[in-house]
C-alpha cells in the first residue's frame, strides 16, 4: 500500500485532532470513499482498533476495500447508507463506538467515472443515484415532478435565484420530448439564466440545479439529520463526532443540531428559570467552522468549500 493509492483527504490533520482516536478504538467512517482519512485513523487505532467503513456505492466500497487489503484486519467494509448507523452497529454486535467521521463530499469516482450524471461537464444519463438499489432517478425528478415542486427543490436545495425560470423552461421542453441526459439539462439551465447575471455567478450556472436534484434523489439532508441523531446515541460518553460539509445547507444542519445537543438556552434574558428545556448533552469543540488553509486549497482544490465541525458527548 502506498500513500499515492489514496485520494488526498480534506482537512486531514484537523480530522485527527478533533476525532482524537486512540489505540483500540472503534470508529465509524460513514463516507469511506477513497479511504484517505481511514488509513490515517487506522495508523492510530491499530493493531486492535477497527474502522467500520461505510459507503452506499458498492463500486466505491469495493475499490476502497481492495486498496485497504494490507489493513484488512482493521477495516470492516459495509455497503449501506450511513443513516442506518444503528442497524449497522447492531448487526455487528456493537452497543457503543468511540468516534464518528462523515466527509460529505462527493467521491471522485462518482463524479468522474460512475457515468451516473453527477457532473454537469459530461453528457451522461440523468441518474444521480448513489446506489442502484434506490428507485428514484434524476430523470424521474426532471420529467415527472410538477413545475411547482421543481421550483421548491431548486430554491430550497439549490438556493438558485432563478429557480422559477429554470423550472418553467424544463416544463416547456419536456412537453415535446423527455429530458434524458445531463447535456440536455445543462442547455436548458444555461438558456434560463439571464445573460447579464451569468458572468456574475460563482461556478457553472448548472451547479446549483444539479446539486438540488442530487439532494432530492438521495434524500441527503434527511439522511444527514438522521445520522447525527442516531449516531450521537451510539457514541460513548466522552467520544466524538466530526463532520465535513461542502455547502451551506449541510453546514447549517450540522451547526444547528450540534448547538441543540450542546443545550444552549434560548430563553429571553432575565428569566429566573430556564423554560426552553435546554439540556447539555455535548460540548461543541469547534465554536466556528474549521476551514482549510490557503496552502491546502492550492494543493487540494477539492478542499476549497470544506467546513469541519466537531463535538464531544458529555
Check which CATH number belongs to the domain holding 143 and give it: 1.10.150.170
> CA nearest 311: which of 251, 243, 210?
243
Domain shared by 11 and 147, yes or no: no
Domain shared by 85 and 30, yes or no: yes
Vertex 191 angle, CA 190 and 192, to 5°: 90
pLDDT tens-digit profile of 25-34? Answer: 999 999 999 8
For the cut 60, the answer to whether the pLDDT of residue 1 exceeds it is: no
Domain shared by 32 and 85, yes or no: yes
- Please tell me the predicted confidence (pLDDT) of residue 5: 47
For the cut 90, the answer to whether the pLDDT of residue 167 exceeds it is: yes
Domain shared by 261 and 302, yes or no: yes
Residue 186 CA from chain centroid, whole number: 23
Does 115 reside within a domain? no
Domain shared by 104 and 231, yes or no: yes
Domain tally, the chain: 2
Q: Beta strand pairing status for 235-245 and 97-103?
A: parallel
- Rounded mean pLDDT of the chain? 93
- Please tell me the predicted confidence (pLDDT) of residue 271: 83
For the cut 80, the answer to whether the pLDDT of residue 307 exceeds it is: yes
For residue 301, the number of C-alpha atoms closer than 13 Å in the C-beta half-sphere is 1
Residue with C-alpha cell 466524538?
240
Q: Where does the pLDDT of residue 2 fall: very low under 50, low under 70, confident under 90, or very high at 90 and above?
A: very low
Q: Which of 14-23, 57-66, 178-187 has the lowest mean pLDDT?
A: 57-66
Cell of 161: 435565484
Instruction: Report the SS3 class of residue 309.
Output: strand
Cell of 289: 467552522
Domain shared by 231 and 278, yes or no: yes
pLDDT tens-digit profile of 234-256? Answer: 999 999 999 999 999 999 999 99
Q: Where does the pLDDT of residue 277 fall: very low under 50, low under 70, confident under 90, or very high at 90 and above?
A: confident
Can you give the residue range of the structural domain that contains 163? 120-218
Does 114 reside within a domain? no
110 versus 200: the higher-pLDDT residue is: 110
Q: Please state the rounded mean pLDDT for residues 84-101.
A: 98
Given 163, 196, 218, which residue is the final one in a domain?
Answer: 218
Domain shared by 178 and 257, yes or no: no
Query: What is the maximal distance between C-alpha atoms in the chain?
Result: 66
Given 190, 218, 246, which residue is the final one in a domain?
Answer: 218
Given 197, 218, 239, which residue is the final one in a domain?
Answer: 218
Q: Please state the rounded mean pLDDT for residues 134-144.
A: 98
Domain shared by 103 and 227, yes or no: yes
Q: What is the DSSP string of 6-57?
A: S---TTHHHHHHHH---TT-EEEES--TT-HHHHHHHHHHTTT-EEEEEES-
- Please tell me the predicted confidence (pLDDT) of residue 199: 58
Number of Cβ within a 10 Å radius of residue 23: 10
- Please tell me the predicted confidence (pLDDT) of residue 200: 62
Sheet order of strands, 97-103 included: 75-79, 50-55, 26-29, 97-103, 235-245, 307-313, 282-284
Amino acid at each position: 500500500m502506498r500513500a499515492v493509492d489514496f485520494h488526498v483527504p480534506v482537512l486531514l490533520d484537523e480530522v485527527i485532532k478533533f476525532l482524537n482516536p486512540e489505540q483500540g478504538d472503534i470508529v465509524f467512517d460513514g463516507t469511506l470513499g477513497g479511504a484517505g482519512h481511514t488509513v490515517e485513523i487506522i495508523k492510530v487505532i491499530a493493531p486492535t482498533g477497527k474502522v467500520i467503513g461505510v459507503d452506499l456505492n458498492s463500486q466505491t466500497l469495493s475499490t476502497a476495500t481492495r486498496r485497504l487489503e494490507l489493513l484488512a484486519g482493521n477495516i470492516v467494509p459495509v455497503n449501506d447508507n450511513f443513516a442506518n448507523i444503528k442497524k449497522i452497529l447492531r448487526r455487528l454486535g456493537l452497543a457503543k463506538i468511540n468516534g464518528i467521521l462523515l466527509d460529505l463530499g462527493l467521491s471522485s469516482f462518482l463524479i468522474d467515472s460512475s457515468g451516473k450524471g453527477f457532473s454537469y461537464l459530461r453528457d451522461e444519463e440523468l441518474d444521480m443515484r448513489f446506489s442502484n438499489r434506490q428507485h428514484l432517478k434524476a430523470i424521474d425528478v426532471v420529467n415527472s415532478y410538477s413545475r411547482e415542486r421543481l421550483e421548491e427543490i431548486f430554491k430550497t436545495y439549490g438556493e438558485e435565484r432563478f429557480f422559477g425560470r429554470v423550472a418553467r423552461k424544463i416544463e416547456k421542453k419536456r412537453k415535446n420530448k423527455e429530458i434524458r441526459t445531463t447535456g440536455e439539462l445543462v442547455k436548458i439551465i444555461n438558456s434560463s439564466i439571464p445573460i447579464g447575471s451569468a458572468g456574475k455567478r460563482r461556478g457553472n450556472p448548472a451547479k446549483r440545479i444539479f446539486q438540488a436534484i442530487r439532494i432530492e434523489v438521495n434524500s441527503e439532508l434527511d439522511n444527514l439529520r438522521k445520522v447525527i441523531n442516531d449516531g450521537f446515541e451510539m457514541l460513548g460518553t466522552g467520544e466524538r463526532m466530526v463532520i465535513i460539509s461542502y455547502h451551506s445547507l449541510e453546514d447549517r444542519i450540522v451547526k444547528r443540531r450540534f448547538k441543540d445537543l450542546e443545550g444552549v438556552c434560548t430563553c429571553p434574558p432575565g428569566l429566573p428559570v430556564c423554560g426552553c428545556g435546554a439540556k447539555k448533552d455535548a460540548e461543541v469543540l469547534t465554536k466556528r467552522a474549521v476551514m482549510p488553509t490557503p496552502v491546502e486549497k492550492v494543493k487540494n482544490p477539492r478542499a476549497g468549500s470544506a467546513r469541519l465541525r466537531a463535538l464531544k458527548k458529555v
